[in-house]
Amino acid sequence: MPDIRKIKRKLKKAGFGSIEVSEKLGGVWLRGELDEYEQILECGRLAVDKKTSRGVINDIRLKGYIPAPMRIPSLRDNLYEGRTPDVLVVGGGIVGCAIARELSRYDINVMLAEKEYDIATGQSARNDGMIHAGIDLKPDSIKVKYNMRGNKLYDTLSKELDVPVRKVGQYVLLTKKWHKLLYPVVVLRARKNNIPIRYVCQKELDRKIPKIGYRHGAMFFAGAGIVSPYLMCIALAENAVQNGAEICLNTAVTGIEHKDGRILSVATNRGTIYPKVVVNAAGVFSDVIAEQAGDRHFTIHPRKGVEAILDKKASRITDSVIGRFAMKSSTGKQHTKGGGIVRTIDGNILIGPSAVETPEREDESTTCESLDEVLVKQQGLTGELTRSDIITYFAGTRAATYEEEFIVEKSPVIQNLVQAAGIQSPGITAAPAIAEDIAKFCTEILSETKKIEKKKDFNPIRKGIPCVRELPIEERAALIKKNPDYGVIVCRCEEISKGEILDAIRSPIPATTLDAIKRRVRAGMGRCQGGFCSPVITRMIAEETGVGLLHVTKKGEGSELLTSYTKEVANDNL
Ligand SMILES: Cc1cc2nc3c(=O)[nH]c(=O)nc-3n(C[C@H](O)[C@H](O)[C@H](O)COP(=O)(O)OP(=O)(O)OC[C@H]3O[C@@H](n4cnc5c(N)ncnc54)[C@H](O)[C@@H]3O)c2cc1C
């Protein structure tokens, strides 16, 4: 049980005597109103007591501020009314999709509800795509446990799901001369976490990274790697579907009915579902789902990160990942590795992310200033970074808890609730390992009422869409001979063929928007950012799916690409 008196004293000492503090569900419950968001965060941090409390439930309101409601589709129908799956997974990010795949190994009925038009649109599409070595994680933390196991699982996943993963390693530059003195300490920590580490002298660095910003050598972690995070997410979900799981897009969970410590039903915009077990994998909304389900013992305070992507011609900067050595801030406020430079799996250079606390969970906006901040900071690493190389940028919000820890648990309060919540970085790395444990928890709960067996015909293999431009010339010619669509280039920057785009539209989770196609085959991701290929792809989507051209969208409802016809055209699909 948390020591409420102690926490009250701490808050009072810091000038927050007006805040009400009490115990709730084994956590610390804060209530009241404050003038500034930073003050609310400060109270949350002061209330952390990992030894005795389950978490901080921070319900302090920001004076005069009403948070934006969760984005949900306007669609209302009864498609899933009355369905009774064994497990309902809430959230189609990498964690939810990895869980759905793990569950599809068993002879049970699995549904996944994702509120957006596609899977992998939240944090899971808006990150660095790094498979972390795990060096900056505290030994014995939950994060390190799942990071290390997840890192290992990526090698198998890559083969089974046909998604490229490259263990390129990570250079952590020593920015001050005295940092060398800390090297033995880092080695000790690395050994504790079983992480290979090597000192790289300046001479070797000069060969590897042009115009390097610091002159004191670096540490090299060979275990770090890169992956396309959204492609891995899509592959996990597709393989789950191939093994019987059902992915329900445009399906938002809007309420959960529970009684006497059990979830009875889950309300969605597409009908009420009656699952035997509910898995909370809702990312930045995981505390909202926990509240609805009756076990919110933590709070998500979103932390936004801005990133920029550079043209492939800037790829000379590095073939791996570069970061700088950073000491943890003494205030405990700073929770970023300081960002860095990543050569993505597709050969672009990615710089960032920043780390800014925001009360808005779905704030994906970027500004000139935020982009400048990222650029200037990373220019310190190498003089090769220039603004004109930036081709696009984006932002994602991390699902941070005040404990800065993952929550991976069978709820002790609600018998049929399992939570994979507060999964911030390194969630991409950790997801496959988290999924193993969550699937175990679900089958344990289900076993209380029926015998749960593994499927005899589970097939872990998923074949991806062929990447025509990377095929050897003979294989490419053979493919085009078989299907001439692979010889028609639609996206000129990335050299993506009509055949690949059609494969994406016809895939197990059909890509029916421009962005969904982009995530699957990279059409529109090059220098011109879809300037040339978007009209062609829009027409292909309309023709393949049968929706009118005016209804094709960039990223779901509200992002229609065309508003009206300017010429008389004979087309039944208008
Ligand atoms: C800028 C940035 C950089 C990062 N870099 C890395 C990195 O290099 N390596 C790494 O390992 N990790 C990294 N991370 C962390 C990683 O991206 C996340 O930990 C991971 O994606 C979390 O996955 P998730 O499935 O839990 O959440 P999400 O991907 O956010 O998925 C949650 C899903 O739930 C859905 N949802 C929410 N509420 C509802 C509802 N009521 N009904 C239905 N659906 C709902 C959302 O729409 C969303 O799709 C980074 C994160 C950020 C923001």
Distance 254 CA to ligand 1 centre (A): 19
pLDDT greater than 60 at residue 573: no
pLDDT greater than 50 at residue 330: no
Closest residue CA from atom 37 of ligand 1: 282
Mean pLDDT over each residue of the chain, to the nearest integer: 94
Q: What's the rounded Cα separation, in Å, for the pair 18 and 31?
A: 9
pLDDT of residue 574: 44
Burial level of 564, CB count in 10 A (0-12/13-18/19+)?
exposed
Decide if 539 contacts 571 (C-beta within 8 A).
Answer: no
Q: What would the pLDDT profile of 370-401 be if each residue is shown by its tens digit?
A: 999 999 999 989 889 999 999 999 999 999 99
Distance 124 CA to ligand 1 centre (A): 4
Q: Write down all domains in the chain, each with its CATH number in brackets.
A: 4-62 (3.30.1340.30), 170-222+301-398 (3.30.9.10), 468-551 (1.10.10.1100)
Which ligand 1 atom lies nearest to the CA of residue 397? 53
pLDDT greater than 90 at residue 334: no
Q: Place 331 in a pLDDT band, splitting at 50, 70 and 90.
A: very low
Token couple for 422? 């507060």
Which ligand 1 atom lies nearest to the CA of residue 304? 53
Please give the average per-residue pLDDT across 253-276, as a whole number: 98
- 72, 99, 124: which to mutate for ligand 1, most atoms within 8 A of CB? 124
Q: What would the pLDDT profile of 517-538 be if each residue is shown by its tens digit?
A: 999 999 999 989 999 999 999 9
Decide if 332 contacts 346 (C-beta within 8 A).
Answer: no
- 127, 272, 320: which to mutate for ligand 1, most atoms within 8 A of CB? 127
Closest residue CA from atom 9 of ligand 1: 130
Closest residue CA from atom 18 of ligand 1: 427
Q: Place 569 in a pLDDT band, splitting at 50, 70 and 90.
A: low
3-state secondary structure of 326: coil
Which ligand 1 atom lies nearest to the CA of residue 268? 42
Distance 283 CA to ligand 1 centre (A): 5
Instruction: Tell me the backbone φ, ψ of residue 345, rounded to 5 degrees.
Output: -60, -25
Which ligand 1 atom lies nearest to the CA of residue 91? 34
* Residue corresponding to tokens 């926490």: 7
Q: What's the rounded Cα separation, in Å, for the pair 131 and 427?
A: 9
Catalytic residues: 132
pLDDT of residue 564: 87
Q: What would the pLDDT profile of 120-166 be if each residue is shown by its tens digit?
A: 999 999 999 999 999 889 989 999 999 999 999 999 999 999 999 99
Decide if 213 contacts 173 (C-beta within 8 A).
Answer: yes
Distance 93 CA to ligand 1 centre (A): 5
pLDDT greater than 70 at residue 329: no
Distance 292 CA to ligand 1 centre (A): 20
Closest residue CA from atom 13 of ligand 1: 425
CA dist list (Å): 164 to 149, 229, 313, 509: 19, 10, 21, 20
Q: Which residues line ligand 1 (CB under 6 A)?
A: 90-96, 113-116, 121-124, 126-130, 132, 252-253, 281-285, 289, 305, 307, 353, 396-398, 423-429
Decide if 3 contacts 52 (C-beta within 8 A).
Answer: yes
